[in-house]
Structure 1
Amino acid sequence: MTTDTRTTDGTAVRRTLADRLAAFINEASSPILANPLVSIAVGASTGSWRWTALLTVFTGVLPAGVIFGALAVQRISDHHVTDRDERPLIMASILGSLVLGLAVCLIGGAPGPVTAVDAAMLTTLGVLAVITIVGRWKVSVHSAVWAGIAAMLALTFGPWALLTALAVPVVVWGRVHVRDHTLPQAVVGALTGAVVAGLTFALIH
């Protein structure tokens, strides 16, 4: 099944069911949505809604504000920050939010899992930033986020939560299908998220 959409110059583009499914997956798996959700889930496991709210601000609300603020002033082309050259500023700004969040957690004596989430996101994004900026290679943040989520949820709630890892190949496929990333970029992103976020979270929580 295909449908026609039109570009700004009026050219017809054929969109298949797979195209539409991939577009939906990319929106639904956006780190803008995923990061606050895992922050709420892990934060709630500690029983502290105050720390859950603070964690969500630093890992979700402020990063989303950075992205949509940059979009509003046309510093980036889209909320997925598809253009690699636009990523350094966004990554640096979000790293700043995560560093501030980690400082608040350490100074305020946050529960271990809350601190661990912030630290895991910080270290993972730091590695992704090095690959993106120094290596000049657009590794997938979407894939890294979902692999990291699976690792953190499994360490928090037990092995059954590893079922969330089933989302990772779906996200990888979506990123590759819309041609925002190559398969190696999406796979390396997933491996980075699983290893870096998983190890950091395990060491701290």
Structure 2
Amino acid sequence: MRAPRERPAGARLARLLTEVLAPGVLVTALPLVAAARVSRSPAHLLLWGGTALLFCAVVPVGVILHGVRRGRLTDRHVGDHRQRARPLSIGLASVAVGLLLLAALRAPAELFAVIVVIFVVGAACTLVNHWWKLSIHAAVAGATVAVLALLFGPVAQLGWPLVAAVGWSRVRLRDHTWPQVLAGTALGAPLAAGVFLALT
């Protein structure tokens, strides 16, 4: 029996970037980073960060993984854009619940704004993906760097090469075209920056 051919190094790197910088990873990390930035005590970090993590990452990602296990979704990146509406809509509903709880818990404006950014960018991606396969990887990566730059200043601008790397990985793996990647970045980054600035 012939052994399977190894993937070229470029394809392995693309797969690594796609997994490490996936939307689920970034929407898990961003609220925690923001909560750590604005929390006044470990208790606040646990309360605000835990709430954001549960409703912005754990529930939405769990819905996708459940769909994959049940065979309703092709993969955890939901490569078939026709399958994206339901998990994205459930994810948005979860984020909306998280926003209400954070408001009740009097979370700082910066953290609240980050969660609104996640909701708005997610809603925009859901709308576009109803008709066209926009790159959610690129949209979320661009939004993440835009928000980090506003939270931490110019040093966070060093994240833009990673956004480009994510875009390259999606094209290299043939999950998206360059127009889909560029459109995702062009949607996510300015939308995230505008929403964040409007709320802080």
Root mean square deviation of aligned Cα? 1.5
SS at match of 1:71: helix
Q: How does 1:101-180 map to 2 (within 5 A)?
A: 101-133=98-130, 136-180=131-175
Match for residue 38 of structure 1?
A: 30
Query: Residues 176 and 5 from structure 1, CA distance in 2 versus in 1: closer, same or farther, beyond 3 angstroms?
Result: farther
Q: How does 1:58-137 map to 2 (within 5 A)?
A: 58-133=55-130, 136-137=131-132
**Structure 2: runs of 5 or more not aligned:** none
Determine whether 1:21 maps to 2:21: no
Does the CA contact (< 8 Å) of 2:48 and 2:105 recur in 1?
Answer: no
Does the CA contact (< 8 Å) of 2:85 and 2:126 recur in 1?
Answer: yes
Q: Amino acid of the residue matched to residue 135 of structure 2?
A: S
Does the CA contact (< 8 Å) of 1:5 and 1:15 recur in 2?
Answer: no
Q: Higher strand share goes to which structure?
A: 1
Match for residue 181 of structure 1?
A: 176
SS at match of 1:76: coil
Q: 2:157 and 2:56 mapped to 1: Cα distance?
A: 22
Percent identity between the aligned chains?
30
| CA positional deviation for 1:108 | 2.8
| CA positional deviation for 1:14 | 6.2
Q: Amino acid of the residue matched to residue 153 of structure 2?
A: G
TM-score (norm 2): 0.92
**Structure 1: runs of 5 or more not aligned:** 7-12
Q: Amino acid of the residue matched to residue 57 of structure 1?
A: L
Match for residue 199 of structure 1?
A: 194
Q: Figure out how many residues of one structure are paired with residues of the other and give that number.
A: 194
Does the CA contact (< 8 Å) of 1:175 and 1:181 recur in 2?
Answer: yes
Q: Amino acid of the residue matched to residue 201 of structure 1?
A: F
SS at match of 2:84: helix
TM-score (norm 1): 0.90
Does the CA contact (< 8 Å) of 2:28 and 2:56 recur in 1?
Answer: yes
